[in-house]
A and B are shown apart, each in its own frame.
Chain A
Amino acid sequence: MEVLGIPDPWVWSAYILSILAMLLCVIYGVLNWNKGEEEEEEQIKEELEWEKKEREMEEKELGM
Chain B
Amino acid sequence: MDTLLLSFIVLIYLILIGYTGYIAWKRTESAEDFMVAGRTSHPYIMALSYGATFISTAAIVGFGGVAGVYGMGLLWLTVLNILVGIFIAFVFFGKKTRKMGHNISALTFPEFLSKRYDSKFIQYFSGLVIFVGMPLYASVVLIGMARFVEATLNIDYTVALLVMAIIVAIYVIFGGIKGVMYTDALQGTIMFFGMIFLLVSTYWILGGVTGSQQALTNMANLVPQSAAATGATGWTTMPALGSPFWWSLLSTLILGVGIGVLSQPQLVVRFMTVKSNRELNRAVLVGGIFIFLMTGTAFIVGALSNVYFFQQMGQIAVQAAGENADKIIPLFITKAMPLWFAYLFMITLLSAAMSTLSAQFHVQGTAIGRDVYETLSRKKGRSTVLIARGGIAIAVLIAVILGLVLPTNIIAVGTAMWFSLTAVAFLSMYVCALFWKGSTKLGVISGMVTGTLITLFWLLFVFKKSAGALGISQAIVGSPTLITAAPWPAMDPIVIGLPIAAVITIVVSLLTKKPSKEHIDKCFEGI
- A residues near B, CB below 8 A? 2, 4-8, 10-11, 14-15, 17-19, 21-22, 24-26, 28-30, 32-38, 43-44, 46-48, 50-55, 57-58, 60-64
Contacts and interface: CB of A to CB of B under 8 A. Distances in A.
B112 to A, nearest CB: 13
B286 interface: yes
Interface stretch (B71-79, B318-326, B331-339, B403-411): B71-79
Given A22-B288, A47-B35, A62-B176, A4 B213 contact: yes
Contact of A4 (B35, B210, B281): B210
Interface stretch (B54-62, B83-91, B437-445, B514-522): B83-91
Interface stretch (B134-142, B365-373, B423-431, B483-491): B365-373
B31 interface: yes
A6 B87 contact: no
A5 B176 contact: no
B211 interface: yes
B290 to A, nearest CB: 9
Interface in B245-290: 273, 275-289
Given A5-B216, A11-B72, A25 B82 contact: yes
A33 B288 contact: no
B238 A8 contact: yes
A36 B90 CA distance: 13
Interface residues of B, number: 66
Contacts of A18: 75, 78-79, 82, 292, 296
Most buried by A among B32, B34, B211, B279: B34
B105 interface: yes
B379 interface: no
B370 A21 contact: no
Contacts, number: 165
Given A43-B276, A54-B273, A64-B176, 5 more contacts: A8-B236, A11-B75, A21-B87, A57-B370, A62-B177
Interface in B194-252: 209-217, 236-238
Given A28-B87, A32-B281, A62 B217 contact: no
Contact of B237 (A8, A25, A50, A55): A8
Contacts of A61: 365-366, 369-370, 384-385, 388
Given A8-B236, A17-B79, A61-B366, A48 B32 contact: yes
B308 to A, nearest CB: 15
A11 B79 CA distance: 11
B104 to A, nearest CB: 11
A11 B237 contact: yes
Interface in B24-54: 31-32, 34-35
A54 B178 CA distance: 12
B381 interface: yes
A26 B380 CA distance: 45
Contact of A48 (B31, B71, B237): B31
B237 A33 contact: no
B71 A62 contact: no
Contact of B91 (A5, A28, A38): A28
Most buried by B among A2, A15, A32, A62: A62
B276 A6 contact: no
A13 to B, nearest CB: 9
Contact of B281 (A11, A26, A35): A35
Contacts of A30: 285
6 interchain residue pairs of minimum CB distance = A25-B288, A29-B285, A36-B277, A5-B213, A5-B214, A64-B176
Given A5-B210, A5-B213, A47-B35, A62 B385 contact: yes
A21 B79 contact: yes
B278 A37 contact: yes
B266 to A, nearest CB: 15
Contacts of A48: 31-32, 35
Contacts of B209: 4-5
Given A5-B209, A14-B78, A14-B79, A62 B285 contact: no
Given A5-B209, A21-B288, A53-B105, A36 B278 contact: yes
Interface in B373-391: 380-381, 384-385, 388-389
A5 B217 contact: yes
A51 B285 contact: no
Given A21-B292, A35-B277, A61-B385, A5 B236 contact: yes
A25 B276 contact: no
Contacts of B366: 57, 61-62
Interface in B175-193: 176-178
A47 B369 contact: no
B469 interface: no
A22 B87 CA distance: 9
Contact of B102 (A28, A50, A58, A62): A50
Given A62-B388, A64-B178, A7 B236 contact: yes
B181 to A, nearest CB: 13
Contact of A26 (B285, B370, B381): B285
A46 B100 CA distance: 12
Most buried by B among A5, A8, A28, A58: A5
B206 to A, nearest CB: 11
